[in-house]
């Protein structure tokens, strides 16, 4: 019978049953009237009357509800609340919002740390961003908590690297801003990554883009240092520091036509970020953070 199975036809009269707790209650009137899982998989997309548990089964394909509404299907979902460990009440203590709250509490312990703690900077950037802002994230070691802090509101709101390549962030932010002229864009980049395509600052200024670059200045290539130490146990960092001479990103940005400031005090972050993100034009905020490798 499964070999003849096909998707349920919305035009058929009466609800088709997709899943049921008991096989002895409903008579099988035709070969298309009952569909159930063939193996141990859960969360199969619902196409007719859906009977599912209140936990993982429906959460695997909850987007099916939107599909049903979008196509105006003659479809009823029945959610069985079994009060089990995977019920909504249990999830409330370990869902994304709950984890974010705990993470914010943990990060906030470093709010007074100087040099500035990179995680504290990431939190201030996220909380200062307008809801409609787009984040281009190449913070690498300084943005490790971004995913746990910032909710994804739409498919265009967050851009990050897909592999191990670095240096794409600044020019990508220019492209994102050109493609979304009505939305503010924030480029969160490490200082080492920014040096690959620093000329992107001039392009942003030239086009007068609503784009703010946040350059996390830890004085070098922290990501490469971490990999060298982790993979090879070697802490002899050759050519990985911006020390002699140091790079003045604020002066560099101004020379390329941007408004720019430099922040070393963790308490100045909130006000500076909100001001920059709410005003038009291309801007750069250089934030000096801890250069600790670990």
190 & 278 share domain: yes
C-alpha count within 13 angstroms, C-beta hemisphere, residue 46:
33
User: Are 121 and 219 within one domain?
Assistant: yes
Distances (CA, A) of 103 to 93, 167, 191, 214, 271: 13, 28, 25, 22, 22
Assign 74 a pLDDT band (cuts: 50, 70, 90): confident
Does a structural domain hold residue 101?
Answer: no
Residue 237 lies in a domain: yes
- Structure tokens given for 167: 């240096």
35 pLDDT higher than 80: no
Query: What pTM, to 2 d.p., does this model score?
Result: 0.72
Q: Which of 55, 194, 80 is nearest to 138 (CA)?
A: 194
Whether 234 is in a domain gets the answer yes
Torsion 223-226-232-237 (CA) sign: positive
pLDDT in tens, 201-222: 999 999 999 999 999 999 999 9
Average pLDDT, the chain: 85
Domain-terminating residue out of 91, 119, 148:
91
Residue-level pLDDT at 247:
94
Among the listed ranges 72-76, 117-121, 160-164, which one has the minimum average pLDDT value?
160-164
Residue range 62-79: mean pLDDT, rounded: 84
Q: Residue 143: helix, strand or coil by DSSP?
A: helix
Q: Do 239 and 140 share a structural domain?
A: yes
- Distance between CA 37 and CA 253 in Å, rounded? 59
Lowest mean pLDDT among 56-60, 90-94, 258-262: 56-60
Q: How many domains, in total, are found in the chain?
A: 2
162 is a domain residue: yes
Q: What is the pLDDT of residue 76?
A: 85
**CA distances (Å), 54 to each of 67, 86, 149, 199, in order?**
19, 7, 27, 53
- In this structure, the answer to whether residues 87 and 130 fall within a common structural domain is no
Across the range 6-25, mean pLDDT stands at: 49
Quick one: tokens of 291?
């250069």
Structure tokens at 210: 């609503």
Is 90 exceeded by the pLDDT of residue 286? yes
Say whether pLDDT at 56 is over 70. Answer: no
The CATH number assigned to the domain holding 210 equals 3.40.50.970
pLDDT of residue 27: 82
In a domain, 99, yes or no: no
Q: What is the pLDDT of residue 85?
A: 55
- For residue 83, the enclosing domain spans 1-91
The single residue listed with the structure tokens 């690959």 is 196
Encode pLDDT of 252-264 as tens digits.
999 999 999 999 9
């Amino acid at each position: 019978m499964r070999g003849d199975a096909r998707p349920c036809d919305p035009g058929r009269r009466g609800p088709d049953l997709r899943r049921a707790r008991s096989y002895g209650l409903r008579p099988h009137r035709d070969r298309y009237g009952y569909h159930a899982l063939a193996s141990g998989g859960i969360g199969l997309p619902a196409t007719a009357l859906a009977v599912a548990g209140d936990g993982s089964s429906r959460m695997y394909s909850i987007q099916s509800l939107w599909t049903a509404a979008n196509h105006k299907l003659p479809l009823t979902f029945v959610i069985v609340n079994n009060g089990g460990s995977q019920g909504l009440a249990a999830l409330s203590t370990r869902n994304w919002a709950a984890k974010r709250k705990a993470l914010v509490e943990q990060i906030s312990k470093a709010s007074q740390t100087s040099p500035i703690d990179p995680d504290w900077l990431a939190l201030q950037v996220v909380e200062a961003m307008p809801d409609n802002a787009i984040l281009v994230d190449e913070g690498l070691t300084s943005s490790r908590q971004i995913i746990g802090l910032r909710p994804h509101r739409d498919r265009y709101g967050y851009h990050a690297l897909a592999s191990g390549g670095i240096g794409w962030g600044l020019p990508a932010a220019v492209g994102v801003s050109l493609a979304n002229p009505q939305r503010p864009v924030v480029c969160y980049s490490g200082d080492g990554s920014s040096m690959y395509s620093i000329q992107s600052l001039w392009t942003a200024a030239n086009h007068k883009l609503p784009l703010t670059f946040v350059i996390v200045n830890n004085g070098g290539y922290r990501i490469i240092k971490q990999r060298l130490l982790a993979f090879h146990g070697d802490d002899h960092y050759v050519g990985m520091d911006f020390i002699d001479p140091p790079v003045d990103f604020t002066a560099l940005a101004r020379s390329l036509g941007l408004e720019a400031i430099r922040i070393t005090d963790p308490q100045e972050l909130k006000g500076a970020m909100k001001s920059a993100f709410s005003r038009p034009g291309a801007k750069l905020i250089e934030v000096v953070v801890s250069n600790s490798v670990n």
